[in-house]
Structure 1
Amino acid sequence: MVLEKAILNRALSQAFDIPVSVTYWNGKTENYGEGLPQAHIKLNKKFSLTDFMGMPTLFLAEAYMNEDIDIEGDVQALITSAYRKSGSFLTDQSGFKGLSKLMHGHSQKETREDIHSHYDIGNDFYKKWLDPTMTYSCAYFETEDTSLEDAQKAKVHHILDKLNSQTGGRLLDIGCGWGTLIITAAQEYGLEAVGVTLSEEQYYFVRKRVEDLGLEDKIKVYLTDYRDLKDGDFDYITSVGMFEHVGKENLGMYFQKVYDYLKPNGRALIHGITGQHYGAGVDPFIEKYIFPGGYIPNVAEQVNHIMTAGLQLDDLEPLRRHYQKTLEIWDANYKKVFDEVVKDMGKPFARMWDLYLLACAASFEAGNIDVIQFLVTKGASGQNLPLTRDYMYKN
Structure 2
Amino acid sequence: MALSNRLLLQPAEQRLAGLPLPCAVQLPGGQRIGAAKPRLQLVVRDMRALMHLAQGAIGRLAEDYVEGRLEIEGRLRDLMLAAPALLGTDPTREPAALVPRLLQRMQRAVWERTHHSRAKDAAQIQHHYDVSDAFYALWLDPRRVYSCAYFASPSMSLAQAQEAKLEHICNKLMLKPGERFIDIGAGWGGLLLWAAEHYGVDATGITLSRNQHAYVNRLIEQKGLQGRVRILLQDYRDVDESQPYDKVASVGMCEHVGRPNLPLYFAKIRRLLKPGGLVMNHGITAGGTDNPQLAGGMGDFIEKYIFPGGQLVHVSVMLDTMARGGLEPLDAECLRPHYAQTLWHWLDALEAREAEARRVLGDNAEKVLRAYRLYLAGSAMGFEQGWISLFQILGARPNGQVEMRPGVSTRLRATQSEYPFNRAYMYAQDRTEAMQDAPRARQQRDTETI
| 1:179 alignment partner, one of 184, 189, 200 | 189
- Map 1:210-359 → 2, pairs under 5 A: 210-230=220-240, 232-278=243-289, 281-282=292-293, 283-343=299-359, 344=362, 345-359=364-378
The structure 1 residue matched to 2:32, chosen from 23, 29, 32, is 29
Separation (CA, whole Å) in 2 of partners of 1:255 and 1:55: 38
Shift of 1:307: 1.5
Any idea what the Cα deviations from partners look like across 1:52-90, whole Å, max 9, x if unmatched?
Answer: 799934531221013321222332343354336535358
Which region of structure 1 is more displaced relative to structure 2, 298-307 or 75-84? 75-84
Tell me the amino acid that sits aligned with residue 182 of structure 2: L
Q: 1: distance between equivalents of 2:321 and 2:377?
A: 31
The aligned counterpart of 1:389 is: 423
Going from structure 1 to structure 2, the CA distance change for 1:361 and 1:301 (only over 3 Å counts) comes to same
Distance of aligned partners of 1:8 and 1:110 in 2 relative to their CA distance in 1, 3 Å threshold: farther
2 CA distance for matches of 1:91 and 1:8? 28
Residues 165, 12 of structure 1: alpha-carbon distance in 2 compared, 3 angstrom cutoff = farther
Structure 1 residue 374 and structure 2 residue 375: aligned?
Answer: no
Number of the residue aligned with 2:204:
194
Tell me if the contact between 1:57 and 1:90 (Cα under 8 Å) persists in the aligned partners. no
Structure 1 residues 366 and 375, CA gap change in structure 2 (3 angstroms): same
1:136 and 2:146 aligned: yes
Percent identity of the aligned residues?
A: 34
RMSD of aligned residue pairs (Cα, Å): 2.7
Report if aligned partners of 2:56, 2:88 keep a CA contact under 8 Å in 1.
Answer: no
What runs of 5+ residues in structure 1 fail to find an aligned partner? Answer: none
- Please, which moves more after superposition, 222-231 or 236-245? 222-231
Partner of 2:43: 42
Quote the offset at 1:312 in angstroms: 1.2
Contact 1:246/1:254 (8 A) holds in 2:
yes
Structure 1, residues 215-263: CA drift from partner, whole Å, max 9, x if none? 1121121100011011520111101000111112111111111111111
Q: Describe the shift of the 1:55–1:73 C-alpha distance in structure 2 as closer, same or farther (beyond 3 A).
A: closer
Q: In the alignment, does 2:91 pair up with 1:86? A: no
**In structure 1, distance between residues paired with 2:46 and 2:94:** 26
Whether contact under 8 Å (1:318, 1:373) holds in the other structure is yes
Equivalent position SS for 1:292: coil
Q: Compute the displacement of 1:21 (Å).
A: 2.2
Shift of 1:118: 0.7
2-side partners of 1:236 and 1:308: how far apart?
19
Distance 1:89 1:316, change over 3 A: closer
Q: Flag the 1:49–1:251 CA change in 2: closer, same or farther, 3 A.
A: farther
Tell me the CA shift for residue 202 of structure 1. Answer: 0.4
Does the 8 Å CA contact 1:314/1:382 hold for their aligned counterparts? no
Change in Cα spacing, 1:92 to 1:14, as seen in structure 2 (3 Å) is farther
Contact 1:41 1:71 in 2 (8 A): yes
Counterpart of 2:130 (choices 120, 123, 126) is 120
Give TM-score scaled by structure 2 length.
Answer: 0.80
2:71 is matched with which residue? 70
Q: Look up the equivalent residue of 2:173 and give its one-letter code.
A: L
SS in 1 for 2:147: coil
**Structure 1 counterpart of 2:80, which letter?**
I
Q: Return closer, same or farther for 1:9/1:102 CA change in 2, 3 Å cut-off.
A: farther
How far apart are residue 264 of structure 1 and its match?
0.7
Q: Which moved more, 1:22-31 or 1:91-100?
A: 91-100
- Residues 271-307 of structure 1 deviation map (CA, whole Å, 9 limit, x = unaligned): 0111232366331111111111100111121111011
Count of matched residue pairs: 393
| Amino acid of the structure 1 residue aligned with 2:88 | S
Deviation digits for residues 303-360 of structure 1 (CA, Å, limit 9, x no counterpart): 1101110111111111111111111111111112222333423312221111111111
In structure 2, C-alpha distance between the alignment counterparts of 1:169 and 1:358, rounded to whole Å: 39
Q: 1:9 to 1:241 in 2, by over 3 A?
A: farther
Indicate the SS of the match to 1:393.
coil
Deviations 1:120-157 (A, max 9, x none): 11211111111111111111111121111111111000
Distance in 2 separating the partners of 1:3 and 1:54: 14
User: 1:372–1:334: structure 2 CA closer, same or farther, 3 Å change rule?
Assistant: same
Measure the CA separation in 2 of the matches of 1:92 and 1:27: 38
Greater CA deviation, 103-112 or 69-78?
Answer: 69-78
- Whole-angstrom distance in 1 between the partners of 2:27 and 2:93: 25
Shift of 1:113: 0.5
Give the 3-state SS of the residue equivalent to 2:90 in structure 1.
Answer: helix
170 and 55 in structure 1: CA distance in 2 versus 1, 3 angstrom threshold: farther
Work out which of the residue numbers 10, 17, 20 in structure 2 matches 1:18. 20
